[in-house]
A and B are shown apart, each in its own frame.
Chain A
């Protein structure tokens, strides 16, 4: 993993890595360590004294049924967002993979939402689905649906999932298209010659060959739904009504800032860290496997 011929210098390499090391140590390791430490501390109501309480914060946190509801909700949101976005993106990518006139134009017109920031996505959708003035909300009400996400938790959840899935379509589309284009034409033609119809060709040839991409995107989408939905939730529902749209990251934010419960917030951060590390580990294992294919 290293070049054969290298430069000889005693101090220069340290000087070159110093800026990054400094930034990483100050703004990454120190706060991460603080988060872990903080999660073992309990602050009194006035913030005057702190005591070391071992796993008290975790015990307290895990004894609340509320917290498990939040975890379950976060995973449900993640899977719903991933499934909705992945299936639509796959359909579009399969269509765009055909030799069509204007193929590059389609790609351009489908990938730009990647660049729209989550809070802006939230604002766009909350405007269209605002129960009193949104144009889509009016259609829903005209169709006899009692649409009011400000009061109905399930509807608020649907709103978040819809907006978050919308934003992720372009990203998934791009990776699906790349995956499809790497499938050799000859494989598809062989299946066609064997008399497989297009739908069958898709499920028996394309889909299995695409499974590494699907798995990769599933992990990326779940991580996206964990973290990047914060901006969407904060502009659309602020976790409400009655916490119906509060995800784990949103709860860390609310408990730490508004609630001032830093110990619990830190314990939640640590639990989040563990989940992300596990997800990343799964992803790395998968990437390694793909290389040896």
Chain B
């Protein structure tokens, strides 16, 4: 592999930078737009360099919202999205790890049927059962609540399967050893299994947090009150059908704020993210 190594390397660098530019350009435009004057943008005279309205726009976006009559500060939406993402991630991990524990470490009647009942949920995303789920959540009086936002998204088997697979790889001797030490099922779970699962839980958390944060169709249906909106819903409502009324700097600032937490998680916890992504897809 010696032919034209130097040139090839430059070409590779060049192509990668073009790729990065393609990937980053829309986000750069959004950021630049969020720092400029609305009148300029609406006239189609937006500059590609940052303007001077950064603090003003972001202050307005986070604490006040758009100038419309049904405005809601984006700070509230960020809070709602955060609560929803945390509930989805932690809730799913919590109920999955204990059910996987039961399925792997106990023998009881209907063990396999129960496993299959959980396993089959892998197949269908929430979108295909959206209206019946809506009706159930409404009947349970969970519309406009954090429980209603997160519970239907917790009902899936990915995490259970992952923990089950992981528990299967833990050597039998560990259980026997802690038995000799007199540990019961609770102690074994708490002192042995949980510490061993820490990396798996963290990787799963990263993926589920992003999944919860980025939900759209479900919160769109079940939130009717403005103060329960997640940021993904809020941003759509800011775009009015008549272009002239859309406050683009605020919309773009909201887009930037909506991206920040999940992108931060991916970049900072990159190893865990990659691991979680590869494992949940298996």
Q: Residues on A close to B: CB < 8 A?
A: 1-7, 9-10, 12-14, 16-17, 19-21, 23-35, 38, 88, 91-92, 95-96, 98, 100, 106-121, 123-128, 130, 132-135, 138, 166, 169-171, 174-175, 178, 188-189, 192, 197-198, 220, 227, 230-231, 234-235, 249, 252-253, 256-257, 262, 265-266, 269, 272-273, 276-277, 280, 287
Contacts and interface: CB of A to CB of B under 8 A. Distances in A.
Interface in B257-282: 258-259, 262-263, 265-267, 270, 273-274, 277-278, 281-282
Contact of A6 (B22, B106, B157): B106
Contact of B214 (A34, A117, A128, A273): A117
A5 B108 contact: no
7 contacts: A17-B98, A20-B99, A24-B121, A96-B12, A114-B266, A166-B23, A273-B123
Contacts of B266: 111-112, 114-115
Interface string B127-148: 1111111011100000000000
Contact of A269 (B3, B27, B130, B259): B130
Given A95-B12, A95-B16, A9 B263 contact: no
B108 A119 contact: no
A35 B236 contact: no
B114 A21 contact: yes
A35 B277 CA distance: 30
A88 B19 contact: yes
Interface residues of B, number: 101
Chain B contact residues: helix, strand, loop or mixed: helix
Contact of A23 (B26, B154, B220, B273): B154
Contact of B128 (A33, A88, A273): A273
A262 B43 CA distance: 43
List the 3 closest A-B pairs by CB distance, nearest first: A34-B132, A115-B262, A31-B132
Contacts of B105: 3, 6-7
Interface string B106-121: 1110010010011001
B160 interface: yes
Nearest to B256: A120
A6 B172 CA distance: 9
B194 interface: no
Interface of B: 1, 3, 8-9, 12-13, 15-16, 19-20, 22-24, 26-27, 29-30, 33, 41-44, 46, 48, 94-96, 98-99, 101-108, 111, 114, 117-118, 121-125, 127-133, 135-137, 151-152, 154-157, 160, 168, 172, 175-176, 179, 184-185, 188, 210, 213-214, 216-217, 220-221, 232, 235-236, 239, 243, 248, 251-252, 255, 258-259, 262-263, 265-267, 270, 273-274, 277-278, 281-282
B99 A19 contact: yes
Contact of A17 (B99, B107, B130): B99
Nearest to B4: A198
Given A106-B20, A108-B270, A249 B127 contact: yes
Contacts of A266: 131-132
A132 B23 CA distance: 24
A249 B125 CA distance: 11
A28 B120 CA distance: 10
Given A20-B99, A110-B19, A115-B263, A28 B106 contact: no
A35 B278 CA distance: 32
Nearest to B23: A113
B220 to A, nearest CB: 8
Nearest to A92: B19
A130 to B, nearest CB: 7
Contacts of B41: 133
B99 A16 contact: yes
Nearest to A137: B44
Contacts of A4: 172
Given A27-B152, A115-B266, A35 B128 contact: yes
B44 A133 contact: yes
Contacts of A100: 9, 12-13, 16
A34 B131 CA distance: 9
B102 A16 contact: yes
B265 to A, nearest CB: 7
B118 A21 contact: yes
Contacts of B243: 130, 132-133
